[in-house]
Amino acid sequence: MASSFIHPFQVKCLTPFKQSLSRRRCRLTTRPVIASYTRGKATSSTRVFLSGPFHPGAEYTLPPEEAAHLRARRIRHGSQITLFDGTGAFATATLDSESSVTVLTTTSAEARSKSICAIIALPKSPSRADGIVEKLVELGVHRLVWARTERVIAAAPNQARLARWARLAVAASKQSMRTDVPIVQTTSNWGELLELASQSDLVLLLSAAGTPILGQRCTDAVRAARNIAVLVGPEGGFTDTEEEKLEAVGALKIGLGSNRLRVETAAFTAVAVLMQVALLESSERTASIARAKGGTNNSASIADASPE
């Protein structure tokens, strides 16, 4: 049988070879990767949040965080960017220096046909709450209200947390190309929550016993309303007493199925569906107006072409 014994001399000879092989492998795996990218060109997607109002020809100083954002994107001096003030007004401007811009033109966004206020039970995890703010802003809510219900165990948010949510709302508005920035606030008691909900034309309450969200009753109500409040409870849902109080102010129970959903899952789904119903209604209205105008133009053409 062949011996498996290795003489110390052999080990001594093999060691330099192993070290050389290790160095070669290191060079192969740590070679610099040459990245190819286009230096920052300002396009309509280069958006900066700045307090208005905006006036053509006026110069404005950018907040430090916005100037840092442009530097990170390598936006060069002389490039055009879009300013928005969070209220629906926006402007095209030229970047004069790292922290100053000159407004070229100003525009006001069209008013929304519907606005959605999302009243959400505050989740225990701060990261989950952050995700809800980000995604609901992207989906299009105009206001987000954190509610403290009987089954909520999260501590009341402090000013630092509210300030963080405000920053997240601005960032999400930039990313989603919105011209407005939703309000993020919190309620401290049920009286305040009920008063806020009652200000809407339609109050929708997510409940396991609710009518399907895409059912005729719900979609007809959404189409007819302009200001909509949708309430999402914690994982355990609202208590019977809480639901009774909400129904007393006219809340309509709607459901997303029999599965128990996390707060964020229910909120994202409900708001996305409501936004699509509103979008479909708006598209149908626009198409109806276009058909009416087309019919009027055709009638006028026929009248002009007819002999006297």
Position 42 scores a pLDDT of 37
Taking the CB of residue 273, how many other CB atoms lie within 10 A of it?
Answer: 18
pLDDT at 291 over 70: yes
Q: Which residue has the higher pLDDT, 108 or 150?
A: 150
Q: Is the pLDDT of residue 121 over 80?
A: yes
Distance of CA 258 to the CA centre of its chain: 27
Q: Where in the chain is CATH 3.40.1280.10?
A: 115-284
Q: Which is more confidently placed, 107 or 306?
A: 107
CB 201 within 8 A of CB 228: yes
The answer to whether residues 99 and 61 touch, using CB atoms and an 8 Å cutoff, is: yes
Q: Which of 76, 168, 172 is nearest to 127 (CA)?
A: 168
How big is the chain, counted in residues? 308
Q: Which residue has the higher pLDDT, 23 or 235?
A: 235
Nearest to 47 by CA among 247, 215, 181: 181
pLDDT for 203 beyond 80: yes
Q: Is the dihedral of CA 41, 45, 50, 53 positive or negative?
A: positive
Which part of the chain has CATH 2.40.240.20? 47-108
Q: Which residues contact 281 (CB under 8 A, 6 or more apart)?
A: 113, 222, 223
Mean pLDDT for all residues in the chain: 83
20-69 per-position pLDDT tens digit = 656 655 554 444 433 333 333 334 568 889 888 899 999 999 989 888 98
pLDDT bin (cut points 50, 70, 90) of residue 235 is confident
Find the mean pLDDT for residues 200-220. 93
Q: 282 has which bridge partners?
A: none
CATH of 115-284, picked from 3.40.1280.10, 3.40.50.300, 1.10.1060.10, 3.40.50.970, is 3.40.1280.10
CA angle 262, 244, 205 (to 5 degrees): 40
The pLDDT value recorded for residue 7 is 56
Average pLDDT for 88-92: 87
pLDDT tens sequence across 164-193: 999 999 999 999 988 889 999 998 788 889
Q: Which residues contact 96 (CB under 8 A, 6 or more apart)?
A: 59, 77, 102
pLDDT at residue number 114? 86
For residue 307, what pLDDT is reported? 46
Fold for 47-108, please state it. Ribosomal Protein L25; Chain P (2.40.240)
- Of 64, 128, 55, the residue nearest 93 (C-alpha): 55
Local structure of 14: helix, strand or coil:
helix
Q: Does 3 score more than 70 pLDDT? A: no
Tokens coding 83: 């300013």
